[in-house]
Every structure is written in C-alpha cells, then in structure tokens.
A and B are shown apart, each in its own frame.
Chain A
Amino acid sequence: MADRYFNPFQAIDIHVPAQFHEAFSRYSQTGGSAVIDQSPFPRMVDLWFMAVCVAARLDLEPENISQYETRKIIDGSIFSSDPWRVHALMLVAIGRTGDIQVVSEPRKMMALFSGLAVAGLPKVLEMLKDGDAEPIWNLSDSIDNLLRRKQAA
C-alpha cells in the first residue's frame, strides 16, 4: 500500500481565520511552549485535525470560511508523513457528503475540512480551558466525557 499511497492535498495549503492564530501558537509545541502540559499539540496540524474530528463528531455544520480573514498555517504536504490522516479525511468527506465521487475533488474536500475546523476550533479551545488542570488534562477529560456521552446515546 505504501508505494501506491498518494496525498491528494499535496498542493493545497491550509488556512484558518486570523483570530485563531494566537491559539494555534499557544497550544502547539512548534509555536509556543515546549511543555506538553501547556501545549498538548506537537504541531499546528494536530490542533487543526483535532478541530475537524470534534466537528465531525458533534455533527457541526461547516462554517463558511470565506467570510473570515484567513492566514495560512499549514502546508498540505504535511499529510505525506501521515497516510492514515489522508484516509481519515477522505472518509470524513464521504461520510459528510454521502458522495463517493468527492474523493476526486481535493479542493472541495479541503473546503469542507476548513469549514469543519472553524466550527470545531471554538469547541476545542473551550475544552482546553474547561477545568482547573493543565490544558492537556482539561482537553483529555473533555474528550473522555464526549466519547462516553455519545457512546451512551
């Protein structure tokens, strides 16, 4: 599988609204603190992916990113090092659109992910602050609750 793997988002940059830029810096170790307790995400893409996952989990409607002033934070080539993320994202695209054909349209998929990220980011930031412990524990406990709540439902 490895030699057949390709990254459809190779040429697409990832943008987020400027208002979140400070949060990306603070909670990723490449941008802010090297202490994992304070900055749980190794790279900015990890926070972005987390936001997409949370939005998908909560069935949030994607925000329209075109109404924001955005900044590029991540190069699409970053997914080349994580094949499973490409798979996960494409599955999210299929699951959300109900259309298999979407896999041949990387820009359309990325637009969906960006909208989901913008919808999920406030939730993730909320989870990071929700509690009296360090951000990583606040976030972990919130995710723990989230998973249990939906499983029970």
Chain B
Amino acid sequence: MTFSWWSPTREISRSPSGKSCSKALATDLLAPVLKRAFGKLEELHDQGKIPNTTIPVLQNRLAAELCICGESLASDDPGCEHRRTHIQKLIDDSLRADEIQEIVTELYFGSKPFESDGSAWLDDYKKVVERRDGLKTLRDDAGRKFRALELELDSLPDTDVQGLRETRRQYNDQRDRHLSRRSSIETQLHGLRTERDQLKGELERLLREQKKGARMLAELEVTQDVSRVLQKAYDRITKEELRKVSGLMNRIFLEMIGADPEQGAIIRRAEISSEFDIKVYGPNDRTLNPDRDLNGASRRALTLAFILALTKVSEVEAPNVIDTPLGMTSGFVKRSLLKTAIRESAQLILFLTHDEIAGCEEIIDEAAGTVVTLTNPAHYPRMLVNDPGVSERKVLRCGCNHRSECPLCQRRADSDTQIEMAS
C-alpha cells in the first residue's frame, strides 16, 4: 500500500479539504517560517501598500454607472463627475504600484491557502496509517490462511497435484464441451418445438380432413352398395330378365303369326338384343327390317308379344289395356292374336272397332266378362242412325254387346267407326 504526499498530481494524494497533501505537508512544515513572512506582508498591507481586491469591483461599478452605496455614477451627469473622478483616482493609485508591490500583492493573495489552522497533513496521514494497518491485518490474515492451506496441501499424502490439475482441466474441457453441446441442443429443441407446434396444427387439420373423408367414405360405401344392388338388378334385367322377356316374346310372337304361311316363310324368330333393340331374324339368321320386311299384322303381333311378355315376366298382376290391337289384321292371324292376348293376360281390357270384332265374336262370347258399347255423338248423322240429342262432346255408353244394338248405338250399315269395348 502506498500514498503520495509530495506529488500534487496523484489522485490518492488529495486530502478531504481539496488541497494536495504535498501542499498540506509544506503548509505544516513551513508553518513557523510562513508565520514570520505573513507578519511582514500584513505590515505592508496595513500601510496600504497592498492594493485590495476592490479594484475590479470599483471598475465594475464605474462601468455599471452605479456606486456600491447606491449613488449614481452616470457619465453624462455633471453632478456625478466628482464621484467618478474620486473612484478613478483610487483605481489609478493602485495600478501604479511598483514591481515589488505587484509581486508581493500576488504573493499576499496567492498564499492565503497556506494560512491554515491545525495540521491537515497529520490528519490525512493518520487516516492513511489507519487504512494501512487495516490492510496489514487483512494481509496478515490472508498470509495465515495461505500458510494453513500450504500445510494442508503438504499433508495430502502422495497426491499428484499436477495430475489432479490436469484432470480438473480435462473435466473443465469436458464441461465446456457439454455446455456448448447443451446450448446447441437447446437451439435444436427450440426448433423442434416450433416444428412440433406446426405439426400439431397440421395434425388437427388432417384429422378434420380424415373425419370428413371417413364420412365421405361411408357415403361412398352406401352409394357403392346401392350401386351394386342396382348393378345386380340391372345385370339381372339385362341378362336373365331380358332373356326371359326375349324368349317369351319370341314364343308369343311366333304363335301369333304361325297361321300366316307368307310371314311364316320369312320370319324365323324375334329377340331383344342386349341393347334393348327388338330384332327379327329370317332364314339363316338374316336380320329383317320390321318396317320393310314385316306386314302390318306381324308388326302389330310383335308389339303385342313384347308387351305381353314384359307384363308376364315382371310378374305384375295388373290389367292390360290395349286400344285397337287388331287393326290391319284379319282371319286366322287376328283370331290367334286375340286368343294369345287373352291367354297371356291377367285381365285384358280391349277397345275394339266393329271391324276388329268381325270374325272374333265366338272368342269374345267365350272370354269376355263385360262388354259395353261407346258411342261418339259427333258421328251423327254420318254413321249413327239416331240423333243422340247431346250437344257437348262426350262419349256415350250403352249396355249393348258385340251382338246387340239400341237406338243410341244403332249404326248405318256401311259405317265402321263404332267402338266396342270388351273385357
């Protein structure tokens, strides 16, 4: 520990009073001789040979044009002239001091700090010594601890301190590596956490999607089931049912036209294709054009055969209502057609003209349950004998059958448009 009392530049040398210790020491050491010097200076001062510090004050007052006593010193006021002159003279006398006076004046004012009571240096030194002794105690304590540690170290048997130091260094290195690794892992962890959060969001989104997907999948399954059922039904229709309808239609058709030698010669069979087209084949499986190669009766028979077959195969118990099925047919074919239709129907309702009925009266006698006659009053007088007496257009019914007539339905001999209904 050190302290400086000579150098005015050392921080540590500053006493509490702000003066440097070296100055304080000089002040203390020189106190007796300085006292004599100050005595000399005071003598001079008392003789008025040392100007005082009021010179700058007087100069300031002159400049401000106001005396310390409050009287005006205005330069443009003649009344103040004598006061200004007096003050200026005081200043001038002071300024005319000779070299010694100047030096001594500076010395007098400059050395004021040397006049001090007591000993600043002694006080400072006392503090420093106290501090030194305190530090010395600390140092002694530290020294004792150090020696104790050294003894302890010596008492450690066969301990390779150097080796232990090396081991410690290695462990320190290891620790540093682990710390650095931990820091990098923490960084990674942070990144992974962020990623995890993102994936969580993604997972939730996907779960929602999956839910939606499952719903859609269920709907799809239902749809597929329905589709399979429908497909099976369709397949059955197109394969088994279609074949059944086709076969039955063929049988009925051939039976209907069997009595016609001309058509029988060119028509071999009829079928419904997988495209639902009705096809007619001649000898050598030649495809026939129904419009060109078949006569009206055969075409009518084909149509009826298809309807009857379809009704039969579908196993629907319902009446067949057919309007004028026997037109363009005659003779045995007509009768065959009617008989077959009756046989293949659960209930048959036919709208027949008198021409269609002609030649089939016995069949109707045998098969018909109810026969009524429908008359169109508009046919009077062209076809009807009597005026039905109704102005509105409506069909009139009477209980006449295919063998009887009444005034309502009585027809002129040459007319053929009267319709009878048999069922």
The answer, among B6, B25, B125, B128, for a CB contact under 8 Å with A42, is B6
Interface membership of chain A positions 140-153, coded 1 if the CB is closer than 8 angstroms to chain B and 0 otherwise? 10011011101100
Tell me the smallest distance from the CB of A138 to a CB of chain B, in Å: 13
Say if the beta carbon of B134 comes within 8 Å of chain A: no
User: Contact at A104–B106, with CB atoms within 8 Å?
Assistant: no
Tell me the smallest distance from the CB of B296 to a CB of chain A, in Å: 146
User: Contact at B100–A92, with CB atoms within 8 Å?
Assistant: no
User: Contact at B22–A46, with CB atoms within 8 Å?
Assistant: yes
Inside 8 A of A36's CB, which chain B residues have their CB?
2, 4
Distance between Cα atoms of A147 and B119 in the complex (Å): 8
User: Contact at A82–B8, with CB atoms within 8 Å?
Assistant: yes
Cβ-closest chain B residue relative to A116: B33
Say if the beta carbon of B107 comes within 8 Å of chain A: yes
Number of residues of chain B lying within 8 A (CB) of chain A: 44
User: Contact at A53–B122, with CB atoms within 8 Å?
Assistant: no
Most chain-B Cβ atoms within 10 A of its Cβ — which of A42, A87, A95, A144?
A87
Inside 8 A of B7's CB, which chain A residues have their CB?
42-43, 46
Inside 8 A of A92's CB, which chain B residues have their CB?
30, 33-34, 37
Inside 8 A of B380's CB, which chain A residues have their CB?
none
User: Contact at A91–B107, with CB atoms within 8 Å?
Assistant: yes
Say if the beta carbon of A66 comes within 8 Å of chain B: no
User: Contact at B107–A87, with CB atoms within 8 Å?
Assistant: yes
The total of interchain contacts (Cβ-Cβ below 8 angstroms) comes to: 124
User: Contact at A100–B29, with CB atoms within 8 Å?
Assistant: no
User: Contact at B32–A57, with CB atoms within 8 Å?
Assistant: yes
Q: Is the interface of A mostly helix, strand, loop or mixed?
A: helix
User: Contact at A94–B4, with CB atoms within 8 Å?
Assistant: no
Distance between Cα atoms of A100 and B36 in the complex (Å): 11
Say if the beta carbon of B205 comes within 8 Å of chain A: no
Interface membership of chain B positions 302-325, coded 1 if the CB is closer than 8 angstroms to chain A and 0 otherwise? 000000000000000000000000
What range describes how many residues of A lie at the interface? Answer: 35 or more
Interface membership of chain B positions 14-35, coded 1 if the CB is closer than 8 angstroms to chain A and 0 otherwise? 0000000011011011101111
The answer, among A88, A91, A100, for a CB contact under 8 Å with B100, is A100
User: Contact at B28–A104, with CB atoms within 8 Å?
Assistant: no
Inside 8 A of A82's CB, which chain B residues have their CB?
8
Inside 8 A of B22's CB, which chain A residues have their CB?
46
User: Contact at B33–A56, with CB atoms within 8 Å?
Assistant: yes
Inside 8 A of A73's CB, which chain B residues have their CB?
none
State the 6 A-B residue pairs at the shortest beta-carbon distance, nearest first: A95-B33, A95-B37, A46-B6, A95-B36, A91-B37, A94-B37
- Give 13 CB contacts A-B under 8 Å: A8-B103, A36-B2, A37-B2, A46-B7, A49-B6, A54-B29, A84-B26, A88-B30, A94-B41, A95-B30, A95-B34, A103-B103, A151-B119
Chain A positions near chain B (C-beta within 8 angstroms): 1, 4-5, 8, 35-37, 40-43, 46-47, 49-50, 53-54, 56-57, 59, 82-85, 87-88, 90-92, 94-96, 98, 100-101, 103-104, 136-137, 140, 143-144, 146-148, 150-151
